[in-house]
Amino acid sequence: MEQRIFEPFGKVSSLTLGGGGLGQVWGSTTREEAIATVQLALEKGINHLDVAPMYGKGESEIVLGKALREQDLKTVKVTTKCRLGTLPDEEVFDYLHRSLSRSLESMNLTRVDLFLLHSQLIEDGFTLANNDEYKLRTTTTLSSYFNAVIPAFEQLKKDGLIGSWGIGGLGQQKAVIAAINNEVKPEAIQCVINPLNSAGAIAYVDDEFNSQQIFVESKRNAIPILGIRAVQAGALTSKMDREPHPSGMDKKDFEDYERAESFRELAKELNESPSKLAYRYALSQNGVSSIILGVKNREELKECLESEQSTRLDKEQISKIEEAISLKKT
């Protein structure tokens, strides 16, 4: 598997196995199948695993811990996260430390290579476009990020519990760009990379959120990038493999599926599955170190591995995909 430059690790496999599928965020699987999926990923050259306590209420981290028991950890890089919310500055370090400690215990590790802020960033006083009543739990203000989160991350590095730190790259557009351009920059960022230019349901904070702009700004600031949402929560696959949530919380994902009809038609013309073409699109973007996969079983992983082995798309092919779904360039 191709190895790409990723400053926090030196090099990283072009594909990263994400924890969303392992934690059954993207449909049901079994713990045994999830463990087998991790083991197959490592066998095929994937050397980075990205999980979070939120994925299956800790299930993804438990799966990872069991899958890594007999692995040589010198060759494996692990990322986990913490959804901090907004707390008084004096409580931030303890909260991050407790969350990280629980994650390490679940994974049977003594440190992680990368620790990400899983909260979405907002300016102080910003009103969320949706779900504002959950703001304190799901978002972190810029003042808290600058004054408390960054120092806490740096302390965790000094303590030897994390190798590097970064942000999820989601939230209010202006706030994320401010974090990217801050004097102390994130050591890594996750950016949405798909031809729909959509973060779907997770872009509930800011209706004006533009994932492509975040990607461009991150590249301009030379921040190492991990790509997420390559198939946009299933919208860029042949069929959504889950039912809409009764609350309507994932409505945007299903709307994106309808919007991607012309993309599926193009994939058919090219004799490729939509998901494989979407992964090829993401892998072909300059400046992306690794694409995080949301697969939940070995069958889905194998298709991603086939995408990685395919030739990268050229500019003309990328433009044809973008034109097929009328991606607006910024």
For residue 232, report the phi and psi dihedrals to the nearest 5 degrees: 45, 65
- Partners of 120 in the beta sheet? 139
Q: Which amino acid is at 210?
A: N
Q: Which CATH fold would you assign to the domain 3-324?
A: TIM Barrel (3.20.20)
Nearest to 8 by CA among 75, 79, 57, 96: 79
Span 160-188, pLDDT tens digits: 999 999 999 999 999 999 999 999 999 99
Nearest to 308 by CA among 263, 286, 271, 276: 276
Residues 70/35, Cβ–Cβ less than 8 Å: no
Q: Which amino acid is at 214?
A: I
Q: Alpha-carbon distance 205 to 279, whole Å?
A: 26
| pLDDT, average across residues 283-309 | 94
194 C-beta neighbours (distance < 10 Å), count: 29
Flag whether pLDDT at 68 surpasses 80. yes
Confidence class for position 29, pLDDT limits 50, 70, 90? confident
Question: What is the reported pLDDT for 112?
Answer: 97
The sign one gets for the Cα dihedral 294, 298, 299, 303 is positive
- Taking CA 210 as the corner, what is the angle to CA 222 and CA 129, rounded to the nearest 5 degrees? 130
Mean pLDDT of the chain: 94
Nearest to 37 by CA among 53, 15, 58: 15
Percent of the chain with pLDDT over 70: 98
Q: What is the DSSP string of 83-149?
A: ------HHHHHHHHHHHHHHHHHHHT-S-EEEEEE-SEEE-TTPPPSS-GGGHHHHEEEHHHIIIII
Q: Alpha-carbon distance 206 to 29, whole Å?
A: 32
pTM (predicted TM-score):
0.94
Q: Alpha-carbon distance 266 to 260, whole Å?
A: 10
Confidence class for position 328, pLDDT limits 50, 70, 90? very low
Alpha-helical (H) ranges within 135-269 are 135-138, 142-144, 150-158, 173-181, 211-220, 251-259, 261-269
Confidence class for position 55, pLDDT limits 50, 70, 90? confident
Flag whether pLDDT at 274 surpasses 70. yes
Three-state SS at 161? coil
Angle between helices 261-269 and 315-324 (to 10 degrees): 140
The ranges assigned to domains in the chain are: 3-324
| pLDDT, average across residues 289-304 | 94
Maximal CA-CA distance, the chain: 57
| pLDDT, average across residues 186-214 | 96
Q: Alpha-carbon distance 308 to 290, whole Å?
A: 11
Flag whether pLDDT at 192 surpasses 60. yes
Spatial neighbors of 8 by CB under 8 A, at least 6 apart, are: 113, 114, 163, 164, 166, 187, 188, 224
Flag whether pLDDT at 325 surpasses 90. no
Span 5-28, pLDDT tens digits: 999 999 999 999 998 888 777 667
Structure tokens at 4: 């790409």
Structure tokens at 210: 């533009």
| pLDDT, average across residues 57-80 | 90
Residues 58/66, Cβ–Cβ less than 8 Å: no
- Taking CA 200 as the corner, what is the angle to CA 279 and CA 246, rounded to the nearest 5 degrees? 120
Structure tokens at 302: 């194998």
Span 107-130, pLDDT tens digits: 999 999 999 999 999 999 999 999
Question: What is the reported pLDDT for 330?
Answer: 39
Flag whether pLDDT at 190 surpasses 60. yes
Q: Alpha-carbon distance 290 to 41, whole Å?
A: 14
Question: What is the reported pLDDT for 259?
Answer: 94
Flag whether pLDDT at 243 surpasses 70. yes
Flag whether pLDDT at 99 surpasses 50. yes
